[in-house]
């Protein structure tokens, strides 16, 4: 798998790993209070859920959308949501020499890194 395919897979894989508050790690000072779980709906949430992967839970897709809301403007979210169904589009943007595409790709990559950190 080449580097761009790995990056696209990593961004989409965010939808495949857990984002729930279950598990042993807790950042709450009071152990009786569960840590906050990020959740939102929007174009990335919908694309994530529609991708048909059984691991793309409601909580996971909601988490990656919440991070998108913090990291990307609505236009970037709509554009990136298309990558879930058309990975070739992501490859084309990544390898494009157009300055608009290059700037978008940097934002999308930063978003993917942040989502992977927060939602896994």
Annotated domain spans of the chain: 3-16+36-119
pLDDT (tens digit, 9 = 90+) per residue, 12-38? 544 433 333 333 333 445 556 656 678
Mean pLDDT, the chain, whole residue set? 80
Residue scoring higher pLDDT (10 or 67): 67
Reported as a pLDDT band with limits 50, 70 and 90, residue 45 is very high
Percent of the chain topping pLDDT 70 = 70
pLDDT per residue as tens digits for the range 60-84: 999 999 999 999 999 999 999 999 9
Angstrom distance (rounded) from CA 85 to CA 114: 21
């Amino acid at each position: 798998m080449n580097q761009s395919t790995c990056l696209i897979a990593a961004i989409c894989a965010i939808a495949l790993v857990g984002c729930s508050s279950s598990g042993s790690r807790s950042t709450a000072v009071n152990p009786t209070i569960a840590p906050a779980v990020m959740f939102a709906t929007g174009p990335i949430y919908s694309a994530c859920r529609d991708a048909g992967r059984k691991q793309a839970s409601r909580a996971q897709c909601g988490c990656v959308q919440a991070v998108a809301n913090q990291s990307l403007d609505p236009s970037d979210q709509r554009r990136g949501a298309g990558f879930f169904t058309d990975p070739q589009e992501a490859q084309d943007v990544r390898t494009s020499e157009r300055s608009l595409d290059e700037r978008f790709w940097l934002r999308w990559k930063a978003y993917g890194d942040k989502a992977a950190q927060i939602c896994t």
